[in-house]
Chain A
Amino acid sequence: MPAVFRADRHEHKKGGRKKDRRVVDEVRKMDEEGRFHSHWGSISVFPNGARFESQGPDEVILLLMRRNFVTNLWWILLSIVLLFVPFFWDEFPLISMVSPNVSLSMELFWYLGIAFFVLQNLLLWFYNVYIVTDERIIDVDFFGLLYKNINVTQIRNVEDVNYSQIGIMSSVFNYGNVVIQTASEQLTDDLTKETSAFTFEAITNPDRVTRVISQLMEQEEQESYEGRVR
């Protein structure tokens, strides 16, 4: 079918008038590649059915990102090792003295503790997300059970964006940190002690994410120049 007859999936009809979405080339390319659509992945382009608190009615999520799964290896391996610890309890003289009932209780406690540890890490990995919409950048940070920190900025406040890949793992699995400097450049008072409030940690394909944000900044500048600021 000729392209002229195809409706652009990123255009949205509202009140009978087409509203042009701010979808940059890099996002389109990533969307067409098809490998960035899993909700479990490190990058999800146009995540289907995903929403976030304070999302505007017309705001579209372009990218939803979280740390590369490889960064979870430490606690997965640790959990596997801890699973086998009760098999060697009898080697410890004090533990070998307790009755079978207490020994069973200790094992149940041990495995419940591991399950709690796994659930905590899984939740923190899954919900520590970075969101790029057509209007804003959102950094959602959860720490432990009772602390959350959410940073939001408009694309027009972004001044500079860069990324870094440090270490063997990040080179092999192609992930890195994307640092976004905003106009205010207020550092966070959170526990990460990041160089910027908007630091996307251990993101897959940091170069492409950087390109997306750069293109959004260019587009914002163009719109500002043409007097089409939202």
Chain B
Amino acid sequence: MIGPDLNLQLGLDTILGWLIILAMIIIVLLLLVTLRQAYLMDKVVNVPVGGNFKMLAWGLVAAGILLTAIVLLVS
């Protein structure tokens, strides 16, 4: 036999679980980039209601982190 015997069993649940965790982390990173982008856009064009978008972006980043934590826990 070549290589160590890892006794690894890969099921559909395991593969999907890891893929979803990876995708969630990518989305959280993209949301962080979007948050930065919202600040930069607001710097280029400063409109009084622009603060709402920043709040929305912060809310989504927080929700993203929370949901990623939940996914990590349940997977």
Instruction: Please report A residues at the B interface, Cβ cutoff 8 Å.
Output: 39-40, 47-53, 64, 94, 97-99, 101-102, 104-106, 108-109, 112-113, 115-116, 119-120, 122-123, 126-127, 129, 131, 140, 142, 145-146, 148, 150
Contacts and interface: CB of A to CB of B under 8 A. Distances in A.
Given A116-B27, A116-B31, A120-B34, A98 B12 contact: yes
B43 A108 contact: no
Given A101-B75, A105-B74, 5 more contacts: A53-B43, A97-B12, A116-B27, A116-B31, A119-B31
Contacts of A131: 45
B38 A106 contact: no
A145 B41 CA distance: 11
Contact of B34 (A104, A119, A140): A119
Nearest 5 CB-CB pairings of A with B: A127-B41, A49-B48, A105-B71, A101-B74, A51-B46
Contacts of B67: 108-109, 112
A119 B60 contact: yes
Given A105-B71, A109-B24, A50 B45 contact: yes
Contacts of B44: 52-53, 127, 140, 148, 150
Interface of B: 12-13, 16-17, 20-21, 23-24, 27, 30-31, 33-34, 37-38, 40-50, 53, 56-57, 60, 63-64, 67, 70-71, 74-75
B13 A40 contact: no
9 contacts: A53-B44, A98-B16, A105-B74, A122-B56, A123-B53, A127-B41, A140-B45, A142-B37, A142-B41
Given A39-B49, A47-B47, A116-B60, A145 B71 contact: no
A21 B11 CA distance: 72
A191 B33 CA distance: 20
Nearest to A94: B12
Nearest to B38: A123
Contacts of B63: 112, 115
A36 B57 CA distance: 27
Given A116-B60, A119-B57, A122-B53, A102 B17 contact: yes
Given A52-B44, A150-B44, A102 B30 contact: no
A210 to B, nearest CB: 22
Contacts of B31: 116, 119
Contacts of A126: 47, 50, 53
Contact of A102 (B13, B37, B43, B64): B13
